[in-house]
Chains A and B, each alone.
Chain A
């Protein structure tokens, strides 16, 4: 099956700095990706998504970049805040239906 992996398991940044969380995926046919944020004891919260016909999508303080050539996805968070501290997952839609494959996550620590 597909696999989604993250380069950095833990990322520490200073409050106010920009954060970049990376993700690699293995299925070149995947056409839809989602970034989720999960705080301790809570469910994954949708942040932003991107389809394979795009290479960049921006939201409020977040930007997702997709590089299909190297099968790489990144999440950029501008002016990181303490409330951004959480585990971030990228999810890749599989070939069948709406089944998503998740990476192991990157823990973001924001230092005040």
Chain B
């Protein structure tokens, strides 16, 4: 049973470039979450998506960040015109259900973005 798959694991971008991070949820999971982690800090919620639908994006910065989870293919977190402050680890998680029932979410191994 494959877990949550993220790629790339490591990404280096120059300031002003775009970063695209991909996440394939666990088999049977239809809900995806993106979290950001700065060094020595906890994980901060960014966005929660179902297929073709953004449920909660309250943790997403208003500009330059966007996320999608299309009907086919992985979820993508897109960061436009990256700045050094975007350097962080971005974790994707998935769960089988997203209703307010308290379901465990399982994380991928993360994508480490470095902006130079």
Contact = CB atoms under 8 A, between A and B. Distances in A.
Interface of A: 4, 31-32, 34, 36, 42-46, 49, 51, 89, 91, 93, 95-105
Contacts, number: 64
Contact of B42 (A97, A98, A104): A104
Interface size on B, as a range, is: 20 to 34
Nearest to B50: A97
Contacts of A31: 102
Given A43-B108, A45-B107, A101 B45 contact: yes
Interface in B3-45: 4, 6, 31, 33, 35, 41-45
Nearest to A96: B56
A44 B44 contact: no
Contact of B110 (A32, A34, A43, A105): A43
A102 B48 contact: no
B91 A98 contact: no
The 6 closest A-B pairs by CB, nearest first: A32-B102, A102-B42, A43-B107, A102-B43, A43-B109, A104-B42
